[in-house]
Structure 1
Amino acid sequence: MDQVESNAQPTADIADGVRQSAVLWDDRNMVTHFANVVNIQSTLEQVDLFFGTNKTWNIGNERQVHVELTDRVILSPHAAKRLSVALAGVLKEYESRHGALKIDGR
């Protein structure tokens, strides 16, 4: 078994005196992508998140916006719900520090 780099940190919780399984966050194969556009669709079995970048800088007469989709993440509905709760918590904390985020001029 390969040795995990030092930046991978195991975490474990103790609840009611019972030690939970440790999670090892292995980031050796992680890649980072930037997205300023997200689109979401779902079926009974999955939730699809499409990420991309709006590269339009001058709309012109054609009035078209070019979005380059680069990544798709497919989640189970349960994982999507957990992501929704986690994002809501992160955004609540962000707004408490930096002020409310306005979306689409609202």
Structure 2
Amino acid sequence: VVAGREEVMVLLGVNRAWKMNQEKVDVDLAERVVMTPFTAKRLAIMLGATLKAYEAKYGKIEIGIPEGNKG
């Protein structure tokens, strides 16, 4: 995800590195989604609500980051 003053871009691609802890990672860019910061904020809120509902139904999703260190 890359952001500037008037746009937020989500770059989507496939990681071609299959080994862990590589110094260089090559990603084949497949799609670029460009939106305004307003739209990005709405998307973030919608994703958060969707994941909260998912976890309420199926259980907590553990991604290896302690709760206090979320970005």
CA-to-partner distance for each residue in 1:9-48, whole Å, 9 max, x for gaps? xxxxxxxxxxxxxxxxxxxxxxxxxxxxxxx111110111
Higher helix share: 2
Using the size of structure 2 for normalisation, the TM-score is: 0.74
Mark the runs of 5 or more structure 2 residues left unpaired by the alignment: 66-71
The structure 1 segments of at least 4 consecutive aligned residues displaced by more than 4 Å after TM superposition are: none
Structure with bigger RCO (C-alpha 8 Å, 6+ apart): 2
Letter in 1 for 2:15: N
Letter in 1 for 2:39: A
> Which of these residues, 3, 8, 11, is aligned with residue 50 of structure 1?
11
Please report how far the alpha carbon of residue 57 of structure 1 lies from its aligned counterpart in structure 2 after TM superposition. 2.6
Check if 1:94 corresponds to 2:49.
no
Coordinate RMSD, CA, aligned: 2.0
Please report how far the alpha carbon of residue 63 of structure 1 lies from its aligned counterpart in structure 2 after TM superposition. 4.7
Matching of residues 1-106 of structure 1 within 5 Å? 40-58=1-19, 63-103=23-63, 105-106=64-65
Instruction: For residue 49 of structure 2, give the secondary structure of its aligned residue in structure 1.
Output: helix
Mark the runs of 5 or more structure 1 residues left unpaired by the alignment: 1-39
Q: State the identity %.
A: 36
Using the size of structure 1 for normalisation, the TM-score is: 0.53
Tell me the matched-pair count.
65
